[in-house]
Structure 1
Amino acid sequence: MPPKGSNSVTKTFEMLELLGESPEGISAAQAAETTGYPFSTAYRLLGGLVESGYASFDARTKIYTLGMEVFRLAQKVAHRQGLSGATKGLLQELTASTGESSILAVRRGNSALTVLTVDGPQFRTTTDPGDESPLHTSSIGQALLAHDPDADATIDAIDLVARTPNSITDPAQMRERLEQIRENGWAGQSEENDIGMNALAVPVFDLDGTLLASLALAAPVFRRSLDELIEFVPQLTETAAAIAARFPR
């Protein structure tokens, strides 16, 4: 959680962010404990979010979750930015031709923010729009980090925490991985971010070389090895170029 705010508006947004980080929901007591606010304050803030539609409350379980108003606003943002309308068809075509789930992500601070996914016919992706992935463990994050002009400083700034036993946690090893990604033109990871999943990502560059996003294919290890995903690099690269041409400016 971010540092506690000093005014009611900031506190409300902090509570909204806490709900976003709690997909299974949270009670008022848990919210108070996490934020450090008195129970009465947490209860009041959550009640205000429920009244405005930004949170939902289950009277039976006493659990608060994100409300549909958040979804509505998110859809408006996506529509205005044109990400979904302009690129979803391209991801659908990529998934249809490869049989694997496709993911589009952008950089948000020191995380990779998933903005669009298309599930494969036999397996659902392990990330949803709005989810954030570590730059150092996910293929979408590594593809973004590799082309960060300040990658060395970023590696020093982020905490290379392991998500699985296969995650890279050594800064020197991560720098070697990023150099390899730049040479190959793609980032591949095998069970570094999620056990049982392989993924391969390519960067999405604008015509002037500006990094816009990263595009990945994800597959369970029992069906597709990383080497087999590498065979799809030409299709990924072609789709990435098409996305760049449609990417909202």
Structure 2
Amino acid sequence: MVGKALGLLVLLGDEPRGASAADISRRAGLPFSTTYRLLGSLTRDGFVDYEPDGRRYHLGLRVFQLGQRVSNHHGFAGTALPILRRVTGRTAEATILSVRDGIHHLTVNKVDGPQTFRVTSDPGHLGSLSATAVGKVLVAFAEDAEREHLLAELPLERLTDRTIVDRDAFRAEIEAVRRRGYAVMDEENETGMRALAVPVLNAQGYAFASLATAAPVFRLTVEGLEAHLQVLLEAAAELADRLPQR
């Protein structure tokens, strides 16, 4: 039952506007009575909030509290945040820190730029490893055996008309990322957005995180992003020195 309850929390995490018990039951593949009982227990313990007017469930503050503890433990808040703010101060664009979570990247921190157009990859966001700059870096600089596994098995979902969905082309892209030391996303994950990412490397030379600058296409060309490469590399080296390495 614990696993089922945790599965419901994961499903709710994909529903920023909340979901009804019937919707959650259907998505979880559980009987409605089981889902309703589990949601009641999670609500009583503060892991889930219930909105009576819309009869919808949302993640509760208890989840946020635990998430903040994890973030602080790994240094993503106190240690990393000032470095991300410094990068954004120099680039005037959003700075994103991500780690790998299975076949996704997980955004663990982000600092928005001063411009009015926001990047939507907020902390807690799970995204594609194959279609994003941060994801490509995490694949390219994974441990050798893990990289080969991802190259062979990672789902290549088409998100835009520029997403790489051919297995050989994806392998070639990852090899190019390893050669040049950074990855670019040019509207492959989201139409109208570009990003450039570099690895945050452990002592063995493998990425335990990735750091990116992201901007809308109308504001920065690929060459404009690449002009910020040295800023990102310096920040990634500082993060590698200061963050606990997983």
Output aligned runs, 1:24-173, within 5 Å: 24-122=17-115, 123-148=117-142, 149-150=144-145, 151-173=147-169
Measured in 2, the distance between the counterparts of 1:96 and 1:191 equals 24
Where does residue 211 of structure 1 map in the other structure? Answer: 207
Where does residue 198 of structure 1 map in the other structure? Answer: 194
1:208 offset after TM fit, Å?
A: 3.7
Is the 2:141–2:206 contact (alpha carbons within 8 Å) kept by the matching residues of 1? no
Can you give the 5+ residue segments of structure 2 that lack an aligned partner in the other structure? none
> After superposition, what is the alpha-carbon deviation per residue over 1:63-92, rounded to whole angstroms, capped at 9, x for unaligned?
101011100111111112222111110000
1:206 offset after TM fit, Å?
A: 2.4
1:146 offset after TM fit, Å?
A: 1.0
- TM-score under structure 1 length normalisation: 0.94
Measured in 1, the distance between the counterparts of 2:13 and 2:223 equals 35
Measured in 1, the distance between the counterparts of 2:84 and 2:228 equals 13
1:152 offset after TM fit, Å?
A: 3.1
Is the 1:203–1:215 contact (alpha carbons within 8 Å) kept by the matching residues of 2? yes
Measured in 1, the distance between the counterparts of 2:74 and 2:191 equals 33
Measured in 2, the distance between the counterparts of 1:68 and 1:210 equals 34
Is the 1:186–1:203 contact (alpha carbons within 8 Å) kept by the matching residues of 2? yes
Farther off after superposition, 48-57 or 121-130: 121-130
Indicate how the Cα distance of structure 1 residues 67 and 97 shifts in structure 2: closer, same or farther if over 3 A, else same.
same
Measured in 1, the distance between the counterparts of 2:31 and 2:172 equals 47
Is the 1:101–1:217 contact (alpha carbons within 8 Å) kept by the matching residues of 2? yes
Is the 1:83–1:248 contact (alpha carbons within 8 Å) kept by the matching residues of 2? no
Is the 1:152–1:175 contact (alpha carbons within 8 Å) kept by the matching residues of 2? no
1:232 offset after TM fit, Å?
A: 0.6
The number of aligned residues is: 242
Can you give the 5+ residue segments of structure 1 that lack an aligned partner in the other structure? 1-7
Measured in 2, the distance between the counterparts of 1:29 and 1:44 equals 12
- TM-score under structure 2 length normalisation: 0.95
1:153 offset after TM fit, Å?
A: 2.5
Measured in 2, the distance between the counterparts of 1:80 and 1:239 equals 20
> After superposition, what is the alpha-carbon deviation per residue over 1:210-239, rounded to whole angstroms, capped at 9, x for unaligned?
322110000011111111100110111001
1:184 offset after TM fit, Å?
A: 1.2
Where does residue 8 of structure 2 map in the other structure? Answer: 15
Is the 2:88–2:94 contact (alpha carbons within 8 Å) kept by the matching residues of 1? yes
Measured in 1, the distance between the counterparts of 2:153 and 2:41 equals 36
Is the 1:117–1:125 contact (alpha carbons within 8 Å) kept by the matching residues of 2? no
Output aligned runs, 1:228-239, within 5 Å: 228-239=224-235
> After superposition, what is the alpha-carbon deviation per residue over 1:78-131, rounded to whole angstroms, capped at 9, x for unaligned?
112222111110000000110000001111112111111101111322211111
- Give the counterpart letter for 1:137 in structure 2: A
Aligned Cα RMSD in Å? 1.2
Measured in 2, the distance between the counterparts of 1:103 and 1:119 equals 9
- Give the counterpart letter for 1:134 in structure 2: S
Measured in 2, the distance between the counterparts of 1:11 and 1:182 equals 39
